[in-house]
Amino acid sequence: MGNEPRLEIPITELSRSVSMGDGDLPYGLPVDAPLGVQLIRNLSEQLRKEAPDEKSWVRRLFEQTPAVTLDKNILLKILSQPKSEGIRFYPCLKKNSDGTDLLSLVAVAVDAEGKDLLYDYNPDIHRSGIQNIPTTSLVAEYGHPPGVAEENDTAGLDPFVLFRYSENI
């Protein structure tokens, strides 16, 4: 039983699919849980440096939206487009059903040159209004707001585990 050959799967992916001319590091590196928690904590600590009685808009936003949850189905649709080599996330702001501000993300595929997939900036379209920007590849915004899962959770489980570890360290 202990002498079976070990199955090895060769990794054929490039370390970097997107090339934007700014170095040789890939856009995204695996990290272990302690480093991930520390990176989350770094932002929290920076925001806590403000006077407690004068919370900035960014701090209030972060406190009610500590994470944005993305569904793999839309991510795979974005990545599956021809010439898609990655995903770019633009931070954005949307209104919750009760009118409060929620932090979210707009996701768009990027090509091998690191450009938003199939989009070109056109000042004439910009001047005519953003409603005239043609949709040439899939763009998504579907951030799951915090609190909804907590309200519907009958088992008492907190979905924001790494965020909770980053608190009060």
CA angle in degrees (0–180, nearest 5) for 106-118-23 = 75
> Residue 77: pLDDT band by 50, 70, 90 thresholds?
very high
Report domain extents, the chain: 33-166
pLDDT for residue 52: 66
Per residue in 1-14, pLDDT (tens digit) is 556 666 565 545 55
- How much is the pTM? 0.72
Per residue in 26-70, pLDDT (tens digit) is 667 778 888 889 988 998 888 888 766 666 777 777 777 778 888
